Amino acid sequence: MKSGLCFSGRFFYGMIFYVETQYFASLVMFKRLKNDSVAKFRDTKYCVSTKIKHMKKIVVLTGAGISAESGLKTFRDSDGLWEGYNIEDVATPEAWHRNPKLVQDFYNERRKNVLDAKPNAAHYALAKLEEKYDVTIITQNIDDLHERGGSAKVVHLHGVITRSQSSKNPALTYPIDGWEIKMGEVCELGSQLRAHVVWFGEAVPMIETAAEICEQADIFILVGSSLAVYPAAGLVNYVPRSVTKYIIDPKIPQLSHRDHFIKIEEKASVGVPELVAQLMTADFND
């Protein structure tokens, strides 16, 4: 017991001595470093936190054109038809009431196509932008190619086809196992499940969130949209006038004269990686 106490006493004083020596040594070191590296370290820390705080916000609005080279057809390419169907026959609440099986089959086929498709160079390039910028993608597309391309913040204005939705309460959505929603499959309220997509004539629940995101943009990029479908097309009006705006489309759509866009008349797989390369070397954040 005594020797134990004695041992801990020696250990205790030893520790105090050790700590004091280390303390004085570090004081001397600190004084030496104070005028150069410590100050530099503080500066660097300050710069890094300021940079994160001031990371430029890029908002990208995408349409069907960005997924065209992944094998998913746009409306415009098919004279306003979607895979040979009139929009009114497959993408409206009236169509669902008239012939739910036809609508279900149509979206099951679209889901099959989406699951088989892969992101293209444009989707991957947008994901790369996140290394330098605070990027939000607002997409009109119902495919999930932005997420699979690596983008972290994706707002789906028109829903996403890889989920199902209650036909009674649109807020109830579920993952789908495989490509098919069968007639007779019901939600927790007992109503038929349908694709989680916004049909023409339905409310667009994410539009206000998207408008707020557009208002915050430092840089705005529009890719592959005919700007014919509202309210999505109206989002460009929420982007402040002073913001630099780019549009990438092989056939640039009509733009309102008040918006000054830098036009990149290219396919998405060419134009987007080119613009991303420029933005990655730009000095905006410094």
Ligand X SMILES: NC(=O)c1ccc[n+]([C@@H]2O[C@H](COP(=O)([O-])OP(=O)(O)OC[C@H]3O[C@@H](n4cnc5c(N)ncnc54)[C@H](O)[C@@H]3O)[C@@H](O)[C@H]2O)c1
Tell me: does residue 71 bind ligand X (CB under 6 A).
Answer: no
Return the number of the residue (58 or 247) whose C-beta is nearest ligand X: 247
To ligand X, the closest distance from the beta carbon of 251 in angstroms equals 4
Whether residue 257 lies in the annotated active site: no
Q: Tell me how far apart the alpha carbons of residues 14 and 17 are, in angstroms, rounded to a whole number.
A: 5
Tell me: does residue 72 bind ligand X (CB under 6 A).
Answer: yes
Return the number of the residue (55 or 150) whose C-beta is nearest ligand X: 150
Which residue minimizes CB distance to ligand X?
A: 65
Q: Please say whether the beta carbons of 110 and 35 come within 8 A.
A: no
Task: Report the side by side order of strands in the sheet with 244-248.
Answer: 154-156, 134-139, 57-62, 219-223, 244-248, 261-264
Tell me: does residue 142 bind ligand X (CB under 6 A).
Answer: yes
Q: Tell me how far apart the alpha carbons of residues 119 and 53 are, in angstroms, rounded to a whole number.
A: 31
Q: Tell which one of 103, 106, 128, 141 touches ligand X (CB under 6 A).
A: 141
Tell me: does residue 154 bind ligand X (CB under 6 A).
Answer: no
Q: Tell which one of 60, 61, 67, 273 touches ligand X (CB under 6 A).
A: 67
Tell me: does residue 273 bind ligand X (CB under 6 A).
Answer: no
Tell me: does residue 191 bind ligand X (CB under 6 A).
Answer: no
Q: Tell me how far apart the alpha carbons of residues 117 and 259 are, in angstroms, rounded to a whole number.
A: 34
Interaction pattern, residues 27-66, with ligand X; x per rule: CB under 6 A: ------------------------------------xxxx
Q: Please say whether the beta carbons of 165 and 194 come within 8 A.
A: yes
Task: Report the side by side order of strands in the sheet with 193-197.
Answer: 173-175, 159-166, 193-197
Tell me: does residue 267 bind ligand X (CB under 6 A).
Answer: yes
Instruction: Give the C-alpha distances (Å, rounded to integers) separating 108 from 103, 128, 143, 254.
Output: 9, 31, 13, 33
Which residues within the stretch 201-230 sit at the binding site for ligand X (CB under 6 A)? Answer: 224-226, 228-229
Given 158, 196, 257, 260, the catalytic residue: 158
Q: Tell which one of 69, 144, 147, 218 touches ligand X (CB under 6 A).
A: 69
Give the long-range contacts of residues 208-213, CB within 8 A, separation 24 or more.
209/155, 210/138, 210/155, 210/157, 210/235, 211/235, 211/238, 212/238, 213/59, 213/136, 213/138, 213/155
Write out the catalytic residue numbers. 158
Contact footprint for ligand X (CB under 6 A) = 63-69, 72, 74-77, 82, 140-143, 158, 224-226, 228-229, 249-251, 253, 267-268
